[in-house]
Amino acid sequence: MTDFFEGIETVRFEGLDGGDLSYRHYDPNEVVMGKRLEDHLRFAVAWWHSFAWPGGDPFGGQTFERPWFGDTIELARLKADVAFELFEILGQPFFCFHDADVRPEGQDFAETTRNLEEIVDYIGEKMESTGPRLLWGTANLFTHRRYMAGAATNPDPEVFAYAAATVKTCMDATHKLGGENYVLWGGREGYETLLNTDLKRERDNAGRFLQMVVEYKHKIGFPGTILVEPKPQEPSKHQYDYDVATVYGFLKDYGLENEVRLNIEQGHAILAGHSFEHEIALAASLDVFGSIDMNRNDYQSGWDTDQFPNNVPEVALAYYEILRAGGFSTGGTNFDAKLRRQSLEPVDLVAAHVGAMDVCARGLKAAAAMLKDGALEEARARRYSGWSDAQVSEMLRGGLDECYRAASEGRYAPSPRSGQQERLENLVNKYV
């Protein structure tokens, strides 16, 4: 036991009148649509933001003073101790990590790998004795200076190889810990300027890299899902995994659309000019939806602010699409969210997650109520009901000539109908 969270009790569901550090909406055992809320939401804490991030911004460095900051195995163990204490306080069923979040960097690849293996064993013991599971593991292929021009898309093949070797060690670690997914976010897989970039080669190299990941997954028998996390820019000016549509085209090009699914993040969707629910709905419709990184971007700032979610109507629409798609299978709700840099106290870390979990629970329950009500789905079905008409398949088969003939004969004389947007929005507001 460390003393980091001293005086902070385990957080419990207390209902609407509950205290500051209680769940007012998230009762893990509440059954919604035949499933416990905990099993619907599958919450995860992100190691990088909660334990590794020092609180810096482009104008200033570290604001957080954590007793585990430093690059030694002993401090990495202390960090893991505190992490598992937070999971216990929150009752979090899952966590996620990058290699660089949990282990110190060594002098060379071999030492770095030994450090990772040592700390993964330690984490494994803690998982066994306390219960939380690994939602996903991933490799940090963007912080170290060797990756400044990308990893899989680096102009230097030695960096490609180093990154691939690192991914192998992270997949091994994820597999060993029983991880349910493995994530690849293309941190610097993009470019700063086209003037020095061979775009076609870089895209092909990224395709081969992902094929190698999938081949290795099958080789070691990793049963989890490989997930790609789209983001349009930041840190690179342009990133190849721009958004769901772009990644889907990429997967098709490299024959991976049945092997890889998507991890969709609210803030990344906003940066790409989409809504979170749009990205989820599109992935679901293409049958590549996997998991979500739940957070909130500031709508004015224009960068990835990674705040904890606090907007129930938005979150409800996201979970509405997830429930329509049948809910999570191996995926879950990972809080890829960080404290504001002035939120110095250990209790701030607890409160941030408590609030976020409550927001998600409210959102999911609202989404389930909207589905149960059925009016939205009925309105959608009514809007497209013309497509079940027999003459429609004839029209589709017949091509332009058939459409011309039918329209000339007056068989198609469309009369515009209301899209009913305001009425549908009113319906949503009934539940959020």
Active site residues: 98, 101
Q: Return the one option of Co ion, ligand XUL, none that residue 304 interacts with (CB less than 5 to 8 A, by type).
A: ligand XUL
Binding to ligand XUL, residues 347-406 (CB under 6 A)? none
CA 59 – CA 123 distance, rounded (Å): 34
The yes or no reply on residue 279 touching Co ion (CB under 5 A) is: no
**Of 138, 205, 236, 266, which lies in the binding site for ligand XUL, with binding defined by CB under 6 A?**
138
CA 379 – CA 410 distance, rounded (Å): 28
Q: At its nearest, how many Å lie between Co ion and the CB of residue 231?
A: 8
Window contacting Co ion (CB under 5 A); options: 196-204, 260-268, 280-288, 396-404: 260-268
Size of residue set near ligand XUL by CB under 6 A:
11
Q: At its nearest, how many Å lie between ligand XUL and the CB of residue 430?
A: 33
Question: Could you tell me how far CA 170 lies from the centroid of its own chain?
Answer: 18
**Of 38, 172, 265, 314, which lies in the binding site for Co ion, with binding defined by CB under 5 A?**
265
**Of 85, 189, 336, 358, which lies in the binding site for ligand XUL, with binding defined by CB under 6 A?**
336
**Can you tell me which residue has the tokens 């770095």?**
112
The interface mask with ligand XUL, positions 253-282, x = CB under 6 A, is ------------x-----------------
CA 336 – CA 31 distance, rounded (Å): 26
**Of 101, 229, 243, 314, which lies in the binding site for ligand XUL, with binding defined by CB under 6 A?**
229
Q: At its nearest, how many Å lie between ligand XUL and the CB of residue 369?
A: 30
Give yes or no for a cis peptide into 93 (omega within 30° of 0): no
28-37: which pairs have CB atoms within 8 A and are 24 or more residues apart? 28/91, 30/365, 32/364, 32/365, 32/368, 33/323, 33/368, 33/371, 33/372, 35/327, 37/361, 37/364, 37/365
CA 327 – CA 139 distance, rounded (Å): 26
Q: At its nearest, how many Å lie between Co ion and the CB of residue 81?
A: 25
Nearest CA-CA partner of 269 in 289, 255, 252: 289
Window contacting Co ion (CB under 5 A); options: 23-31, 47-55, 168-176, 285-293: 285-293
Q: Which amino acid is at 425?
A: E
The interface mask with ligand XUL, positions 48-77, x = CB under 6 A, is x-----------------------------
Q: At its nearest, how many Å lie between ligand XUL and the CB of residue 142?
A: 8
The interface mask with Co ion, positions 328-357, x = CB under 5 A, is --------x---------------------
Q: At its nearest, how many Å lie between Co ion and the CB of residue 72?
A: 27
The yes or no reply on residue 209 touching ligand XUL (CB under 6 A) is: no
The interface mask with ligand XUL, positions 103-122, x = CB under 6 A, is --------------------
Q: CA dist 212 to 113, 161, 240, 330, 383, Å? A: 20, 11, 18, 21, 44
The yes or no reply on residue 320 touching ligand XUL (CB under 6 A) is: no
| DSSP string across 192-235 | S-GGG--HHHHHHHHHHHHHHHHHHHHHHT--SEEEEE--SSSS
Residue 210's CB is within 10 A of a number of other CB atoms, namely 23
CA 183 – CA 368 distance, rounded (Å): 28
Structure tokens at 140: 């940090």
Q: Return the one option of Co ion, ligand XUL, none that residue 138 interacts with (CB less than 5 to 8 A, by type).
A: ligand XUL
Interface positions with Co ion (CB under 5 A): 265, 293, 336
Which residues contribute to the site for ligand XUL (CB under 6 A)?
A: 48, 98, 138, 183, 185, 229, 231, 265, 293, 304, 336
